[in-house]
C-alpha cells in the first residue's frame, strides 16, 4: 500500500445522506486514532456509529514526536476536507496510547516520550482549526463498544482489554466509562503485564498461543479478583486470532471479542469529541 491509504471499512456500511435523509441531520465528528504503526481518521455519525467518509491512514512517523504526528493528523484531516467531508464546526477527537489529563498525555509507554506534558490538545486545535478532545485509545474503544458494540446494553461491570503493542483497558460500569484504568501496567510476574503478554510481547518472546493463553488467563484471574467483571471483551489485533487460543483462555466471566477491530479508536474518539461519555440511553 502507498504511504497514504484510503482503507475499506470492515465495519457497518456508511450511511448515504442522499438516500437516507435522517443521516444528513445526525451530529458528526472526526475520529482520529493514533497508533504505533498507523494514524487513521474518518468522519463518524454519532447516532449510528457509522463511518460517513473514507477512512484515511498514514504511517505513524518515526520517531513519533508530537510535532511529527500532529503534522500527519493535519494532512489526513486536510484530505477529508478536500473530499468535502467536513464542515467548519465539526469537532475532532483523538485517541492516544497514554493517560490523558487536561488535554495532555501524562504517560507514554508506547509512544515517543516527548508527548508527556506536551500541550497536544492545543496544538491539534491550532493545526486543525476546530475543537479537539483527547482520549485514551482503549477508553475510546470502550466508548465505541458500549455505544454500538459488544458492551451495548450490558448491565454491571464490563472489562474491555485491547491487546496489541501494549495492553489497554476500559472499565464500564452500567454503561459508564471509568477512564484511565491502565490495566496493562498491573504487575504480573514482577513486571508490567503488557511486557509479558501483549501481542507484541508474545511475538518478541516467541511463545505459542497455548502458553500465551495460559499466562493471559493468570492475568485475567488477577483482574477478576479485584473487579469481578460480568463480561470481558477482548479487542485489539490479538482478538482477531481468538480461534487460535480461545479454548485455552480461562476466566470466571464470559469472554467475547470486540465488535470493532480497526475502527473502535476512530468511533470512540469521535464520540468523545461529541461529548458522549456514556452509552446512549436508547
Ligand atoms: C498505555 C495505555 C494504552 C495501551 C494500548 C499502554 O502501554 O499505557 O494508555 O491504552 O498501551 O495502546
Vertex 170 angle, CA 260 and 234, to 5°:
45
For residue 109, the CA-to-ligand 1 centroid distance in Å is 7
pLDDT values of the chain reduced to their tens digit, one per residue, 282 residues: 334 455 544 444 444 444 454 445 579 999 999 998 999 999 999 999 999 999 999 999 999 999 999 999 999 999 999 999 999 999 999 999 999 999 999 999 999 999 999 999 999 999 999 999 999 999 999 999 999 999 999 999 999 999 999 999 999 999 999 999 999 999 999 999 999 999 999 999 999 999 999 999 999 999 999 999 999 999 999 999 999 999 999 999 999 999 998 899 999 999 999 976 544 444
Q: In order of start, what are the domains of the chain with their CATH numbers?
A: 4-139+263-273 (3.30.420.40), 153-257 (3.30.420.40)
170, β-bridge pairs: 160
Integer angstrom CA distances of residue 277 from 139, 172, 174, 268: 10, 11, 12, 9
Report pTM. 0.91
Unique residue bearing C-alpha cell 464546526: 89
Q: Which residue is associated with the grid cell 464500564?
A: 172
Distance CA 277, CA 268 (A): 9
Q: Rounded to the nearest whole angstrom, what is the distance from the C-alpha of residue 182 to the centroid of ligand 1?
A: 7
The residues lining ligand 1, judged by C-beta closer than 6 Å to any ligand atom, are 97-99, 107, 109-110, 136-138, 162, 166, 168, 182, 184, 194
Amino acid at each position: 500500500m502507498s504511504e497514504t491509504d484510503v482503507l475499506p471499512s470492515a465495519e457497518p456500511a456508511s450511511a448515504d445522506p442522499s438516500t437516507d435523509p435522517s443521516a444528513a441531520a445526525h451530529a458528526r465528528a472526526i475520529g482520529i486514532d493514533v497508533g504505533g504503526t498507523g494514524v487513521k481518521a474518518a468522519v463518524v455519525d454519532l447516532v449510528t456509529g457509522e463511518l460517513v467518509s473514507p477512512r484515511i491512514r498514514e504511517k505513524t512517523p518515526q520517531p513519533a514526536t508530537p510535532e511529527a504526528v500532529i503534522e500527519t493528523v493535519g494532512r489526513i484531516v486536510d484530505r477529508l476536507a478536500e473530499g468535502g467531508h467536513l464542515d467548519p464546526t465539526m469537532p475532532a477527537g483523538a485517541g492516544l496510547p497514554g493517560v490523558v489529563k487536561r488535554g495532555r498525555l501524562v504517560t507514554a509507554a508506547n509512544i515517543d516520550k516527548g508527548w508527556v506534558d506536551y500541550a497536544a490538545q492545543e496544538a491539534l486545535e491550532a493545526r486543525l482549526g476546530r475543537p479537539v478532545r483527547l482520549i485514551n485509545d482503549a477508553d475510546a474503544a470502550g466508548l465505541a463498544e458500549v455505544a454500538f458494540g459488544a458492551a451495548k446494553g450490558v448491565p454491571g461491570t464490563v472489562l474491555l482489554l485491547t491487546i496489541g503493542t501494549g495492553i489497554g483497558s476500559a472499565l464500564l460500569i452500567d454503561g459508564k466509562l471509568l477512564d484511565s484504568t491502565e490495566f496493562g501496567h498491573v504487575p504480573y510476574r514482577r513486571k508490567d503485564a503488557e511486557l509479558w503478554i501483549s501481542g507484541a510481547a508474545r511475538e518478541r518472546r516467541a511463545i505459542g498461543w497455548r502458553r500465551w493463553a495460559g499466562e493471559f488467563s493468570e492475568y485475567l484471574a488477577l483482574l477478576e479478583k479485584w473487579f469481578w467483571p460480568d463480561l470481558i471483551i477482548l479487542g485489539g489485533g490479538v482478538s482477531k486470532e481468538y480461534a487460535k487460543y480461545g479454548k485455552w483462555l480461562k476466566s470466571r466471566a464470559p469472554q467475547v471479542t470486540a465488535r470493532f477491530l480497526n475502527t473502535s479508536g476512530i468511533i470512540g474518539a469521535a464520540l468523545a469529541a461529541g461529548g458522549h461519555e456514556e452509552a446512549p440511553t436508547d
